[in-house]
């Protein structure tokens, strides 16, 4: 099951990653849902662009360590080590928060 999830993420990646060479490896699996710009991939999903770095680290560790229950992010974060969490937090916290998204309803 775990391998299947990773395989699906890897297969989907090349489509999303086109022209996005700047996305670091630790973030490769995130962009399917959060997009390379950290924008909501679906209505109601959170915007990561411009989030505080420390908040991203805290949330990802919370999901990985099962302190924050969530069916989707639990599965994703279960595979992350501290270095990958730091790299993902660096990446999304540096994005300007103002980028528009058709799915962003300003929750």
Q: Does 88 bind ligand HEC (CB under 6 A)?
A: yes
Evaluate whether 38 touches 49 at the Cβ level (below 8 Å).
yes
Q: Does 29 bind ligand HEC (CB under 6 A)?
A: yes
**Residue from the set 36, 49, 56, 93 that interacts with ligand HEC by CB under 6 A:** 56
92/52 Cα distance (integer angstroms) = 9
Q: Both tokens of residue 43? A: 């209505």
CB nearer ligand HEC, residue 20 or residue 45: 45
Exposure of 38 in the CB half-sphere (CA atoms within 13 A): 22
Q: Both tokens of residue 79? A: 């595979």
Number of residues located near ligand HEC, criterion CB under 6 A: 17
Q: Which residues bind ligand HEC (CB under 6 A)?
A: 29-30, 32-34, 45-46, 48, 56, 59-60, 70, 72-73, 76, 80, 88
């Amino acid at each position: 099951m775990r391998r299947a999830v990773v395989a699906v993420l890897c297969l989907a990646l090349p489509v999303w990653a086109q022209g996005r060479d700047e996305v670091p490896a630790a973030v490769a699996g995130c962009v399917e849902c959060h997009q390379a710009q950290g924008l909501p991939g679906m209505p109601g999903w959170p915007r990561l662009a411009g989030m505080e770095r420390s908040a991203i680290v805290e949330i990802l560790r919370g999901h990985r360590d099962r302190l924050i229950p969530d069916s989707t992010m639990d599965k994703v974060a279960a595979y992350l080590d501290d270095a990958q969490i730091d790299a993902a937090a660096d990446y999304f916290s540096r994005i300007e928060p103002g980028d528009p998204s058709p799915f962003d309803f300003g929750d």
